[in-house]
A and B are shown apart, each in its own frame.
Chain A
Protein backbone atom coordinates (compact mmCIF):
# COMPACT_ATOMS: atom_id res chain seq x y z
CA UNK A 1 0.00 0.00 0.00
CA UNK A 2 2.67 2.50 1.00
CA UNK A 3 4.93 3.69 -1.78
CA UNK A 4 8.12 4.03 0.27
CA UNK A 5 10.49 1.20 1.24
CA UNK A 6 12.15 2.99 4.12
CA UNK A 7 11.81 6.10 6.23
CA UNK A 8 15.13 7.54 5.02
CA UNK A 9 13.95 7.17 1.44
CA UNK A 10 10.82 9.09 2.35
CA UNK A 11 12.86 11.88 3.96
CA UNK A 12 15.28 12.08 1.00
CA UNK A 13 12.43 12.44 -1.55
CA UNK A 14 14.79 11.34 -4.32
CA UNK A 15 17.23 14.24 -3.74
CA UNK A 16 14.37 16.72 -3.75
CA UNK A 17 14.00 16.64 0.04
CA UNK A 18 14.97 20.27 0.56
CA UNK A 19 12.35 21.50 -1.89
CA UNK A 20 9.55 19.18 -0.81
CA UNK A 21 10.08 19.62 2.94
CA UNK A 22 10.69 23.35 2.50
CA UNK A 23 7.24 23.59 0.93
CA UNK A 24 5.58 21.39 3.55
CA UNK A 25 7.29 23.17 6.44
CA UNK A 26 6.37 26.72 5.50
CA UNK A 27 2.81 25.72 4.57
CA UNK A 28 2.32 23.93 7.89
CA UNK A 29 3.91 26.79 9.83
CA UNK A 30 1.73 29.51 8.31
CA UNK A 31 -1.45 27.44 8.47
CA UNK A 32 -0.81 26.83 12.19
CA UNK A 33 0.23 30.42 12.87
CA UNK A 34 -2.85 32.08 11.36
CA UNK A 35 -5.47 30.46 13.66
CA UNK A 36 -3.16 30.90 16.67
CA UNK A 37 -2.86 34.63 16.00
CA UNK A 38 -6.62 34.84 15.52
CA UNK A 39 -7.35 33.14 18.85
CA UNK A 40 -4.85 35.39 20.63
CA UNK A 41 -6.24 38.55 19.00
CA UNK A 42 -9.77 37.53 19.88
CA UNK A 43 -8.90 36.95 23.54
CA UNK A 44 -7.25 40.35 23.70
CA UNK A 45 -10.22 42.03 22.02
CA UNK A 46 -12.75 40.44 24.39
CA UNK A 47 -10.69 41.40 27.43
CA UNK A 48 -10.44 44.99 26.18
CA UNK A 49 -14.16 45.29 25.47
CA UNK A 50 -15.09 43.75 28.84
CA UNK A 51 -12.81 46.22 30.60
CA UNK A 52 -14.39 49.06 28.66
CA UNK A 53 -17.94 47.96 29.49
CA UNK A 54 -17.09 47.59 33.19
CA UNK A 55 -15.58 51.07 33.22
CA UNK A 56 -18.63 52.58 31.53
CA UNK A 57 -20.97 50.84 33.97
CA UNK A 58 -18.93 52.11 36.87
CA UNK A 59 -18.99 55.67 35.50
CA UNK A 60 -22.72 55.71 34.89
CA UNK A 61 -23.57 54.32 38.34
CA UNK A 62 -21.36 56.94 39.99
CA UNK A 63 -22.89 59.82 38.05
CA UNK A 64 -26.39 58.78 39.21
CA UNK A 65 -25.54 59.12 42.91
Chain B
Protein backbone atom coordinates (compact mmCIF):
# COMPACT_ATOMS: atom_id res chain seq x y z
CA UNK B 1 0.00 0.00 0.00
CA UNK B 2 0.97 3.55 -0.67
CA UNK B 3 2.43 5.33 2.36
CA UNK B 4 0.74 8.62 1.73
CA UNK B 5 -2.66 6.97 1.69
CA UNK B 6 -2.02 5.36 5.06
CA UNK B 7 -0.94 8.67 6.63
CA UNK B 8 -4.02 10.44 5.34
CA UNK B 9 -6.38 7.89 6.78
CA UNK B 10 -4.51 7.87 10.07
CA UNK B 11 -6.01 11.25 10.97
CA UNK B 12 -9.41 10.04 9.87
CA UNK B 13 -9.40 7.43 12.62
CA UNK B 14 -11.32 8.42 15.76
CA UNK B 15 -8.41 7.34 17.92
CA UNK B 16 -6.07 10.01 16.53
CA UNK B 17 -8.77 12.60 15.88
CA UNK B 18 -10.08 12.48 19.46
CA UNK B 19 -7.07 14.04 21.24
CA UNK B 20 -6.46 16.58 18.45
CA UNK B 21 -10.09 17.73 18.66
CA UNK B 22 -9.78 17.98 22.44
CA UNK B 23 -6.80 20.33 22.11
CA UNK B 24 -8.52 22.51 19.50
CA UNK B 25 -11.85 23.04 21.31
CA UNK B 26 -10.64 25.73 23.82
CA UNK B 27 -9.07 27.75 21.00
CA UNK B 28 -12.29 27.78 19.02
CA UNK B 29 -14.20 28.84 22.13
CA UNK B 30 -11.74 31.68 22.73
CA UNK B 31 -12.04 32.86 19.11
CA UNK B 32 -15.84 32.61 19.27
CA UNK B 33 -15.86 34.82 22.39
CA UNK B 34 -13.51 37.41 20.88
CA UNK B 35 -15.40 37.64 17.57
CA UNK B 36 -18.76 37.56 19.35
CA UNK B 37 -17.95 40.43 21.71
CA UNK B 38 -16.43 42.48 18.87
CA UNK B 39 -19.37 41.80 16.54
CA UNK B 40 -22.04 42.62 19.12
CA UNK B 41 -20.13 45.74 20.17
CA UNK B 42 -19.98 47.00 16.59
CA UNK B 43 -23.51 45.92 15.71
CA UNK B 44 -25.39 47.02 18.79
CA UNK B 45 -23.33 49.88 20.19
CA UNK B 46 -21.43 51.55 17.35
CA UNK B 47 -23.37 51.03 14.11
CA UNK B 48 -25.75 53.88 13.22
CA UNK B 49 -29.46 53.37 12.72
CA UNK B 50 -30.91 52.27 9.39
CA UNK B 51 -32.70 55.06 7.53
CA UNK B 52 -35.58 52.83 6.42
CA UNK B 53 -35.99 50.29 9.19
CA UNK B 54 -34.99 52.20 12.31
CA UNK B 55 -33.38 50.26 15.18
CA UNK B 56 -35.20 47.02 14.36
CA UNK B 57 -32.69 46.38 11.61
CA UNK B 58 -30.13 45.41 14.28
CA UNK B 59 -31.66 41.94 14.26
CA UNK B 60 -29.63 41.53 11.06
CA UNK B 61 -26.49 40.97 13.17
CA UNK B 62 -28.03 37.75 14.50
CA UNK B 63 -30.35 36.79 11.66
CA UNK B 64 -27.89 36.79 8.76
CA UNK B 65 -25.07 34.89 10.54
CA UNK B 66 -27.57 32.31 11.84
CA UNK B 67 -29.04 31.84 8.36
CA UNK B 68 -25.61 31.54 6.73
CA UNK B 69 -24.54 28.99 9.33
CA UNK B 70 -27.72 26.94 8.92
CA UNK B 71 -27.00 26.58 5.19
CA UNK B 72 -23.25 26.17 5.47
CA UNK B 73 -23.44 23.52 8.21
CA UNK B 74 -25.80 21.57 5.99
CA UNK B 75 -23.30 21.63 3.14
CA UNK B 76 -20.48 20.47 5.43
CA UNK B 77 -22.72 17.76 6.88
CA UNK B 78 -23.61 16.54 3.38
CA UNK B 79 -19.92 16.58 2.43
CA UNK B 80 -19.02 14.38 5.41
CA UNK B 81 -21.96 12.14 4.54
CA UNK B 82 -20.72 11.80 0.95
CA UNK B 83 -17.18 11.02 2.15
CA UNK B 84 -18.64 8.38 4.45
CA UNK B 85 -20.51 6.74 1.59
CA UNK B 86 -17.47 6.90 -0.71
CA UNK B 87 -14.68 5.78 1.65
CA UNK B 88 -16.64 4.12 4.44
CA UNK B 89 -14.56 5.88 7.11
CA UNK B 90 -15.88 5.81 10.66
CA UNK B 91 -15.10 9.46 11.32
CA UNK B 92 -17.32 10.77 8.49
CA UNK B 93 -20.57 9.51 9.93
CA UNK B 94 -19.63 10.77 13.39
CA UNK B 95 -18.90 14.25 12.06
CA UNK B 96 -22.16 14.38 10.10
CA UNK B 97 -24.12 13.36 13.21
CA UNK B 98 -22.21 15.88 15.31
CA UNK B 99 -23.13 18.75 12.99
CA UNK B 100 -26.86 18.09 12.59
CA UNK B 101 -28.17 19.42 15.95
CA UNK B 102 -26.10 22.60 15.65
CA UNK B 103 -27.39 23.12 12.12
CA UNK B 104 -30.94 22.65 13.37
CA UNK B 105 -30.26 25.20 16.13
CA UNK B 106 -29.15 27.82 13.60
CA UNK B 107 -32.06 27.06 11.26
CA UNK B 108 -34.42 27.59 14.19
CA UNK B 109 -32.66 30.83 15.20
CA UNK B 110 -32.85 32.05 11.62
CA UNK B 111 -36.62 31.51 11.61
CA UNK B 112 -37.06 32.93 15.11
CA UNK B 113 -35.09 36.13 14.53
CA UNK B 114 -36.70 36.39 11.10
CA UNK B 115 -40.18 36.28 12.63
CA UNK B 116 -39.22 38.96 15.16
CA UNK B 117 -37.84 41.07 12.36
CA UNK B 118 -40.76 40.45 10.01
CA UNK B 119 -43.40 41.56 12.52
CA UNK B 120 -42.30 45.22 12.83
CA UNK B 121 -41.19 45.54 9.18
CA UNK B 122 -43.83 43.60 7.25
CA UNK B 123 -46.56 43.42 9.86
CA UNK B 124 -46.48 39.61 9.90
CA UNK B 125 -44.55 37.03 11.95
CA UNK B 126 -44.68 34.60 9.08
CA UNK B 127 -45.59 34.52 5.40
CA UNK B 128 -45.51 31.52 3.06
CA UNK B 129 -42.83 33.11 1.01
CA UNK B 130 -40.15 31.19 -0.97
CA UNK B 131 -37.25 32.19 1.29
CA UNK B 132 -39.04 31.50 4.56
CA UNK B 133 -40.61 28.26 3.40
CA UNK B 134 -37.35 26.81 2.06
CA UNK B 135 -35.59 27.71 5.33
CA UNK B 136 -38.38 25.94 7.23
CA UNK B 137 -37.81 22.89 5.01
CA UNK B 138 -34.11 23.07 5.96
CA UNK B 139 -35.07 22.85 9.64
CA UNK B 140 -37.26 19.83 8.81
CA UNK B 141 -34.38 18.21 6.92
CA UNK B 142 -32.14 18.55 9.98
CA UNK B 143 -34.84 17.14 12.24
CA UNK B 144 -35.51 14.35 9.75
CA UNK B 145 -31.80 13.49 9.63
CA UNK B 146 -31.56 13.34 13.44
CA UNK B 147 -34.77 11.33 13.76
CA UNK B 148 -33.79 8.86 11.04
CA UNK B 149 -30.37 8.25 12.59
CA UNK B 150 -31.76 7.75 16.06
CA UNK B 151 -34.38 5.32 14.73
CA UNK B 152 -31.72 2.89 13.45
CA UNK B 153 -29.83 0.92 16.08
CA UNK B 154 -26.78 -0.05 14.06
CA UNK B 155 -24.66 3.14 13.82
CA UNK B 156 -23.08 2.22 10.48
CA UNK B 157 -26.47 1.66 8.86
CA UNK B 158 -27.79 4.81 10.52
CA UNK B 159 -24.86 6.70 8.96
CA UNK B 160 -25.68 5.39 5.50
CA UNK B 161 -29.40 6.14 5.70
CA UNK B 162 -28.70 9.59 7.11
CA UNK B 163 -26.10 10.25 4.42
CA UNK B 164 -28.57 9.57 1.64
CA UNK B 165 -31.16 11.84 3.24
CA UNK B 166 -28.53 14.56 3.70
CA UNK B 167 -27.38 14.30 0.08
CA UNK B 168 -30.90 14.43 -1.35
CA UNK B 169 -31.63 17.45 0.83
CA UNK B 170 -28.68 19.40 -0.57
CA UNK B 171 -30.91 20.50 -3.44
CA UNK B 172 -32.70 22.75 -0.94
CA UNK B 173 -29.60 24.89 -0.26
CA UNK B 174 -29.41 26.66 -3.66
CA UNK B 175 -33.19 27.02 -3.51
CA UNK B 176 -32.89 28.95 -0.23
CA UNK B 177 -29.95 30.97 -1.46
CA UNK B 178 -31.43 32.02 -4.79
CA UNK B 179 -35.08 32.14 -3.70
CA UNK B 180 -35.04 35.92 -3.43
CA UNK B 181 -33.89 36.14 -7.06
CA UNK B 182 -35.98 33.37 -8.59
CA UNK B 183 -39.28 34.35 -7.04
CA UNK B 184 -40.93 37.59 -6.25
CA UNK B 185 -40.71 37.44 -2.49
CA UNK B 186 -41.41 39.64 0.47
CA UNK B 187 -37.96 38.85 1.86
CA UNK B 188 -35.37 41.46 0.95
CA UNK B 189 -32.52 40.62 -1.41
CA UNK B 190 -29.08 39.64 -0.15
CA UNK B 191 -27.23 42.34 1.77
CA UNK B 192 -23.89 40.82 0.83
CA UNK B 193 -23.25 39.44 -2.62
CA UNK B 194 -20.24 37.68 -4.05
CA UNK B 195 -20.48 39.60 -7.30
CA UNK B 196 -21.64 43.09 -6.34
CA UNK B 197 -20.30 45.46 -3.74
CA UNK B 198 -22.36 45.16 -0.55
CA UNK B 199 -25.51 47.24 -0.32
CA UNK B 200 -24.90 48.29 3.27
CA UNK B 201 -22.66 50.67 5.20
CA UNK B 202 -19.13 49.47 5.93
CA UNK B 203 -19.54 49.53 9.71
CA UNK B 204 -22.71 47.42 9.53
CA UNK B 205 -20.98 44.97 7.23
CA UNK B 206 -18.11 44.65 9.71
CA UNK B 207 -20.51 43.96 12.56
CA UNK B 208 -22.23 41.28 10.53
CA UNK B 209 -19.01 39.61 9.41
CA UNK B 210 -17.64 39.54 12.97
CA UNK B 211 -20.86 37.97 14.23
CA UNK B 212 -20.72 35.46 11.39
CA UNK B 213 -17.12 34.55 12.32
CA UNK B 214 -18.22 34.09 15.93
CA UNK B 215 -20.94 31.69 14.77
CA UNK B 216 -18.38 29.79 12.72
CA UNK B 217 -16.05 29.35 15.69
CA UNK B 218 -18.98 28.42 17.95
CA UNK B 219 -20.16 25.81 15.46
CA UNK B 220 -16.73 24.23 15.13
CA UNK B 221 -16.25 24.13 18.92
CA UNK B 222 -19.66 22.63 19.59
CA UNK B 223 -19.45 20.13 16.73
CA UNK B 224 -16.05 18.92 17.95
CA UNK B 225 -17.39 18.54 21.48
CA UNK B 226 -20.33 16.49 20.24
CA UNK B 227 -18.11 14.46 17.89
CA UNK B 228 -15.85 13.50 20.81
CA UNK B 229 -18.78 12.18 22.82
CA UNK B 230 -20.07 10.27 19.80
CA UNK B 231 -16.60 8.76 19.38
CA UNK B 232 -16.44 7.53 22.97
CA UNK B 233 -19.94 6.09 22.74
CA UNK B 234 -19.47 4.32 19.42
CA UNK B 235 -15.91 3.13 20.06
CA UNK B 236 -16.57 1.96 23.62
CA UNK B 237 -15.67 -1.62 22.68
CA UNK B 238 -12.24 -0.63 21.41
CA UNK B 239 -8.97 -0.78 23.28
CA UNK B 240 -8.20 2.95 23.03
CA UNK B 241 -11.40 4.05 24.74
CA UNK B 242 -10.87 1.50 27.49
CA UNK B 243 -7.27 2.62 27.95
CA UNK B 244 -8.34 6.26 28.00
CA UNK B 245 -11.02 5.80 30.64
CA UNK B 246 -9.32 3.24 32.87
CA UNK B 247 -5.90 4.93 33.00
CA UNK B 248 -4.88 6.41 36.36
CA UNK B 249 -4.37 9.96 35.11
CA UNK B 250 -8.05 10.70 34.86
CA UNK B 251 -9.31 14.07 33.85
CA UNK B 252 -7.32 13.83 30.62
CA UNK B 253 -10.23 12.22 28.82
Give residues in A with beta carbon < 8 Å to B.
1-4, 10, 13-16, 18-20, 22-24, 26-27, 30-31, 34-35, 38-39, 41-42, 45-46, 49-50, 52-54, 57
Contacts and interface: CB of A to CB of B under 8 A. Distances in A.
A13 to B, nearest CB: 4
A2 B45 CA distance: 6
A14 B109 contact: no
14 contacts: A19-B59, A26-B112, A30-B105, A30-B109, A31-B105, A34-B222, A35-B225, A38-B222, A42-B225, A46-B253, A49-B236, A53-B242, A54-B246, A57-B246
B129 interface: no
B212 to A, nearest CB: 13
Given A3-B47, A49-B236, A27 B222 contact: no
A1 B48 CA distance: 10
A48 to B, nearest CB: 9
Contacts, number: 93
Contacts of A49: 232, 236, 241, 245
Nearest to A56: B242
Interface stretch (B114-122, B149-157, B172-180): B114-122
**Central interface residue in A2, A13, A20, A35, by most chain B CB within 10 Å:** A20
| 10 cross-chain pairs, A with B, having the tightest CB-CB distances, nearest first | A16-B56, A14-B55, A13-B55, A23-B113, A19-B116, A14-B54, A42-B229, A38-B225, A23-B116, A23-B59
Contacts of A34: 101-102, 105, 222
